[in-house]
Structures are given as structure tokens and as C-alpha cells.
Amino acid sequence: MKYAETVLDLVGNTPLVKLNSVTDGIQATILAKIEYLNPGGSSKDRIAARIIDAAEREGKLAPGGTIVEPTSGNTGIGLALVAQQRGYRCVFVLPDKVGEDKRNVLLAYGAEIVVTPTSVAPESPDSYYSVSDRLVTEIPGAFKPDQYSNPNGPLSHYETTGPEIWRDTDGKVTHYVAGVGTGGTISGAGKYLKEQNPDIKVIGADPEGSVYSGGTGRPYLVEGVGEDFWPTAYDPSVVDEIIASSDAESFEITRRLAREEGLLVGGSSGLAVSAALKAAKDLPADVVVVVLLPDGGRGYLGKVFNDKWMRSYGFLPAESGATVADVVG
Ligand code: PMP
């Protein structure tokens, strides 16, 4: 019989698929690493088990304990999967820009959520960082993984994501592109890849306005990437270049990935592919770019895949005349 002992054994070993349509006019091979095939639906499943293992080992989390974390959703799902297996309670703090679908997923896994305003400074008592800090002091036996500073985040990508990319490309990868949120994905896997071949270019994809590309953290709409501060999970020494893309560019590519490549992915995947396309534009045919697509698109059906939402932000032209929906009533 072939089966996994628990769902956690299904984390990682995600496949690479070649992009064939959005790459029109590009000679290099662009391979997408499909992280939505992790059991919790994102790359964040990878960091959760390693973070909780370490906390138990270090005595920071004991039976009956509660995991409290500010998370845009995906880290919460990963942590909830592990918490279920080990009997911990989970309380997640989310900024209000996180879609309702994503919130409901956390509730479905049995977690509790607290929603905070996006448009306040990180030092405000209402910010999602401050609220989570307060909850940690108020809840007995609480542990805050803090994915922004926890070294086990980047380490999990050093131990899994990086080796998988090296193995699956037979060491032929020349460029690695990933969106930067906490920085764990780019720093961990990038470090591993550079140790195998120091010539590999590591490229971070950042939403315009975020600190990594020289901004101040001005609000942008792509979720899970970009920051308004510099987390210690991000190791700038690993990253050769940061490429910024606008929300409009990221969302356009996100929609094309679904329609043309059959990849229903989130906006940060569009951001990462947008950066990969910019990086590969004038590169020759022997270049192999691996771009990591962090999560699936089902959590964003009411946003990037909703024409009305897209129009309300000017990402699609205003409606002209009747739509199919109007015609069929
Ligand atoms: N995309 C999405 C949808 C995410 O949830 C995250 C994690 N915040 C990222 C990209 C960025 O990954 P990392 O935190 O490892 O930089």
C-alpha cells in the first residue's frame, strides 16, 4: 500500500512545470514551481513543521499551548495543520485586506482569527504586529512563531525548496526568482542554490512601494509579499537583484497564468512571474529560470479573478455596453 502516514508527510516535493504562453518572445526556459500542490495549498506548509518542532525542542511550546501569529493566511494554514496533529490551539491575526475566502479557510481548519486594519503604522496599537504581541502576553502558554524573525523559516527552504530545485533541474538552474514577504523563501532556497553554484542569480520580486525595492511600504494590493520594514528572515546577501512590479502588472500576469497556462494561482505568483519575465527578457536559450508560485488562486476569486473588483481599481478598462451576464440575465 502506498500512503502517507499523516498529511504533514505530503509537504514539499512540488513539481516544476514549463511556462509556454506568457513567455512569448523569450528564449530562456522558465520553469514554475507549483507550491499550491502542498497539502495546505502554499509554500508556507514547509516552514510550519520546522518552526513548531524547534519551539517544542526549545521548551517554548508545551502541550495545551496556543500558537499566536500575524499571518496573511497561508502561514496560518500551515501552522493549523501541524497544530491539529499535536493538539495546540491557534489564534491568527490578519490585516483586513486579506479576503474573506482566505479567512474562512483558517476557520475551517479550526483556527481562531482576529482582523486588524491594514492602513495603520506597524507601531500603532491596532496594527497586526502590535495586536499579536498583546495576545501573546495575555494568553497563558502562548507561543508566537514570528515568521519574520524565526530562522527556521528560511532554514526550511534551505533544507527542502532549494535542494528540490537543484535536483529537479539536474543542477542546470541559472536563475531563481521568488516573491519576498518575510524573505524566507528567497533567502533559504537562494542560499542553498548559491552553495551548489555561486553563479546562480537570485532575484527577488517585490510589489512597487515595498521596502525591498526602495519604497516606504505604501499599500499595494498583492497579498503575502512586500513589507514596510526589514525582517531578519530576509538575508540581503543572498539576493543579487530586486525587480519591482505594479499591482496592474502582477494581476495581469496572474490572470494570464490561469487562462493560458492552466495555473490558477494567487497574485504573488503573478508578481513573481512578472519579475521572471523581466529578468529573462534578453537572455539566451540556455538560461533556466525557476520561479516559485507560492499559492493557488481559489482564495482570490472575488479579487484578481473578479472583473468588477479589477475595474474598481482601474486594472481593467471601464465596462462598455452589455456583458454576457446582462444578456443572459
Ligand atoms: N506569496 C504569498 C501568497 C505568501 O503568503 C507569502 C508569505 N508571506 C509569500 C508569497 C512570500 O514568502 P516569504 O514570506 O517566504 O518571503
The 10s digit of each residue's pLDDT in 258-314 is 999 999 999 999 999 999 999 999 999 999 999 999 999 998 999 999 999 999 999
Which atom in ligand 1 lies closest to the alpha carbon of residue 71? 8
Give the helix ranges, DSSP H, for 225-289: 247-261, 267-280
* Closest protein CA for atom 2 of ligand 1: 224
The rounded distance, in Å, linking the Cα atoms of 125 and 13 is 40
The pLDDT-based confidence of 329 (bands split at 50, 70, 90) is very low
CB of 41 closer than 6 angstroms to any ligand 1 atom: no
pLDDT attached to residue 101? 76
The rounded distance, in Å, linking the Cα atoms of 51 and 254 is 30
Host H or E run for residue 138 = helix 128-138
Average pLDDT over residues 207-221: 92
Q: What is the pLDDT of residues 152-199, one digit of tens each?
A: 999 999 999 999 999 999 999 999 999 999 999 999 999 999 999 999
CB of 231 closer than 6 angstroms to any ligand 1 atom: no
Share of the chain above pLDDT 90, in %: 84
The rounded distance, in Å, linking the Cα atoms of 308 and 94 is 24
- The whole-chain average pLDDT of the chain stands at 94
**Ligand 1 centroid – CA 28 distance (Å):** 25
Which residues on adjacent β-strands are paired with residue 112?
91
Is the reported ipTM for this assembly greater than 0.90?
yes
Active-site residue, from 44, 144, 194, 201 = 44
Q: Is 201 a catalytic residue?
A: no
Q: Is 33 helix (H, G, I), strand (E, B) or coil?
A: strand
Contact 43, 161 (CB under 8 A): yes
Please give the backbone phi and psi of residue 79, each rounded to the nearest 5 degrees, phi first: -65, -40
CB of 252 closer than 6 angstroms to any ligand 1 atom: no
Q: Residue 143 pLDDT more than 60? A: yes
pTM score, whole prediction: 0.92
Which atom in ligand 1 lies closest to the alpha carbon of residue 44? 7
The strand pair at 29-34 and 16-18 is best described as antiparallel
Average pLDDT over residues 31-60: 96
Other beta carbons less than 10 A from residue 258's beta carbon: 16
